[in-house]
Amino acid sequence: MKKQNLSHFNIKPTFKNNKVRIGILVSEWNEPITNALKEGALAFLKDAGIKENQIYLHSVPGSYELPFAAAELAISEIDVDAIICLGCIIQGETRHFEFIAQAVANGLIRVSLDFGIPVIFGVLTCDTMEQAQERAGGSHGNKGVEAACSCLKMLDFMKNIG
């Protein structure tokens, strides 16, 4: 199967970029990967006209902590319009991977639905470190870029139905 870089987007948001507030939560576990995802997301948002003072960047110990942090950010005084969650879970020798990945996915969608804001799932769930590297700036692009693009598209969607 041919490897394809899926991280090329041309998006022109219709919402007022200067009014939007975006939270970004980044897992410290598998930090070389999550830092690459973060840098990709930040670069994409900057290119789309989002200013540094509109982005609220926080780290959490691991991907499992992303749902709690997203819920706390959603109710904080910062009043974010959307949250991008970036993490990396790599399959090990036990079923731990499955439990963590499922809990994170379920937790993030729950936060999104409970608080009525987009919570973007930018969590890699890979079998190997090599697969993660391919998706964090390698041959498959940067999923942090894709998460940031999804965030802006969802904010656009919300503006257009509002």
d(CA 78, CA 84): 15
- Which one is predicted more confidently, 142 or 2? 142
The whole-number average pLDDT for the span 125-139 is 94
The pLDDT of residue 86 is: 98
pTM metric for this prediction: 0.91
Among 120, 117, 110, 112, CA closest to 149? 120
Annotated domain spans of the chain: 19-147
Q: Strand pairing of 22-27 and 82-90?
A: parallel
Q: Which of 8, 58, 96, 140 is catalytic?
A: 96
CA pair distance 63, 104, nearest whole angstrom: 7
Looking at domain 19-147, which of 3.40.50.2300, 3.40.50.960, 3.30.70.270, 3.40.50.300 is its CATH number? 3.40.50.960
φ, ψ for residue 6, nearest 5 deg: -100, 10
Reply yes or no on whether the pLDDT at 14 is more than 60.
Answer: no
Q: Is 8 considered catalytic here?
A: no
